Structure 1
Amino acid sequence: MKTIPKVDISGLYGDDPDARARVAAEIGKACDEIGFFYAVGHDVPLATMERAYAKAHEFFSLPIEERRKVASDRNNRGYRGQEDVVHRSGLTFARDFFDLGFPVAADDPEVLAGTPLYAPNKFPDLPGFEDALLAYYWGCYGVGMKVLEGFALYLGQAPDFFSRHFTKPVADMVLNHYWPHETALSIGATEVASGAHTDHGIVTILWQDSSGGLQVMDRNGDYLDVPPIPGSYVINIGELMKRWTNGRFQATIHRVIHKKNADRISMPLFCNPDFRTLVDPRALGVSDADAKYEPVLSGDFLVSRFMSTRKLWGAENKPGDAKAIEMAAE
Structure 2
Amino acid sequence: MVPIVDISPFVDEASYDDETRRRVAEQWDSAMMHVGFAIITGHGVHPQTISALREGAMRFFADDLASKNAYNHGPYGNPLGGYTGVGAEAVSRTRDAHGSDGGADHAGALPDLVESFVFKPESPMSRPAVLEGAGAAYHAAILRVLDTLHRLTAASLGLPADFFASYYSPHQPETVSLRLAYYPPLSPEAQVSSAMRYGEHTDYTGFTILHQDEADVDDIDSGGGLQVRLKTGEWHAVPPTPGAFVVNIGDLYEVWTNGRWRATVHRVMKPPPGSAAASAPRLSIPFFTGPRNDAVIEAMPTCVDEGRPPKYAPVRALDHLLKKLQGSNV
TM-score by length of 2: 0.83
Which residue number corresponds to residue 60 of structure 2? 59
Given the superposition, is the C-alpha separation of residues 38 and 163 from structure 1 closer, same or farther in structure 2, using an over 3 Å criterion? farther
Q: Is the 8 A contact 1:93 1:184 kept in 2?
A: no
Output one character per residue of 1:142-197: Cα deviation in whole Å (capped at 9) or x when no partner: 1122111111111101112124422214011111001213x263485345111111
Which residue number corresponds to residue 300 of structure 1? 319
Which residue number corresponds to residue 10 of structure 1? 8
Given the superposition, is the C-alpha separation of residues 76 and 217 from structure 1 closer, same or farther in structure 2, using an over 3 Å criterion? farther
Q: Aligned pair 1:280/2:298, yes or no? A: yes
Letter in 1 for 2:150: L
Which residue number corresponds to residue 84 of structure 1? 88
Which residue number corresponds to residue 161 of structure 1? 163
Measured in 2, the distance between the counterparts of 1:284 and 1:121 equals 42
Measured in 2, the distance between the counterparts of 1:202 and 1:5 equals 19
Q: Is the 8 A contact 1:92 1:188 kept in 2?
A: no
Q: Is the 8 A contact 2:260 2:303 kept in 1?
A: no
Output one character per residue of 1:13-59: Cα deviation in whole Å (capped at 9) or x when no partner: 21432222222111111001010010001110111111100001011
Given the superposition, is the C-alpha separation of residues 188 and 268 from structure 1 closer, same or farther in structure 2, using an over 3 Å criterion? same
Q: Aligned pair 1:26/2:27, yes or no? A: yes
Measured in 2, the distance between the counterparts of 1:305 and 1:209 equals 25
DSSP 3-state at the match of 2:38 = strand
Measured in 2, the distance between the counterparts of 1:186 and 1:286 equals 47
DSSP 3-state at the match of 1:206 = strand
Measured in 1, the distance between the counterparts of 2:188 and 2:79 equals 27
TM-score by length of 1: 0.83
Given the superposition, is the C-alpha separation of residues 283 and 92 from structure 1 closer, same or farther in structure 2, using an over 3 Å criterion? same
Which residue number corresponds to residue 189 of structure 2? 185
Residue 309 of structure 1 deviates from its aligned partner by: 1.1
Measured in 2, the distance between the counterparts of 1:29 and 1:184 equals 43
Which residue number corresponds to residue 325 of structure 1? none
Which residue number corresponds to residue 41 of structure 1? 42
Letter in 1 for 2:37: F
Which residue number corresponds to residue 112 of structure 2? 93
Q: Of residues 248, 272, 280 in structure 2, which corresponds to 1:236? A: 248
Measured in 2, the distance between the counterparts of 1:81 and 1:244 equals 34
DSSP 3-state at the match of 1:281 = coil
Measured in 2, the distance between the counterparts of 1:243 and 1:75 equals 24
DSSP 3-state at the match of 1:70 = coil
Q: Is the 8 A contact 1:145 1:163 kept in 2?
A: no
Given the superposition, is the C-alpha separation of residues 90 and 191 from structure 1 closer, same or farther in structure 2, using an over 3 Å criterion? closer
Q: Is the 8 A contact 2:297 2:315 kept in 1?
A: yes
Structure 1 window deviating more from structure 2 (64-73 vs 13-22): it is 13-22
Measured in 1, the distance between the counterparts of 2:189 and 2:184 equals 10
Measured in 2, the distance between the counterparts of 1:158 and 1:287 equals 18
Q: Is the 8 A contact 1:94 1:184 kept in 2?
A: no
Output one character per residue of 1:39-94: Cα deviation in whole Å (capped at 9) or x when no partner: 00111011111110000101100100000111032325100111211233422322
Measured in 1, the distance between the counterparts of 2:290 and 2:261 equals 16
Residue 211 of structure 1 deviates from its aligned partner by: 2.4
Which residue number corresponds to residue 200 of structure 1? 204
Measured in 2, the distance between the counterparts of 1:189 and 1:174 equals 25
Structure 1 window deviating more from structure 2 (194-203 vs 12-21): it is 12-21
Q: Is the 8 A contact 2:80 2:124 kept in 1?
A: no
Given the superposition, is the C-alpha separation of residues 303 and 255 from structure 1 closer, same or farther in structure 2, using an over 3 Å criterion? same
Q: Is the 8 A contact 2:89 2:111 kept in 1?
A: no
Given the superposition, is the C-alpha separation of residues 223 and 294 from structure 1 closer, same or farther in structure 2, using an over 3 Å criterion? same
Q: How many residues align?
A: 291
- 1:307-318 to structure 2, matched below 5 A, reads 307-311=326-330
Measured in 1, the distance between the counterparts of 2:47 and 2:27 equals 24
Measured in 2, the distance between the counterparts of 1:17 and 1:64 equals 53
Given the superposition, is the C-alpha separation of residues 122 and 78 from structure 1 closer, same or farther in structure 2, using an over 3 Å criterion? farther
CA RMSD of aligned residues (A): 1.9
Given the superposition, is the C-alpha separation of residues 271 and 32 from structure 1 closer, same or farther in structure 2, using an over 3 Å criterion? same
- Identity over the aligned pairs, expressed in percent? 31
- 1:216-295 to structure 2, matched below 5 A, reads 216-259=228-271, 260=277, 261-284=279-302, 286-287=304-305, 290-295=309-314
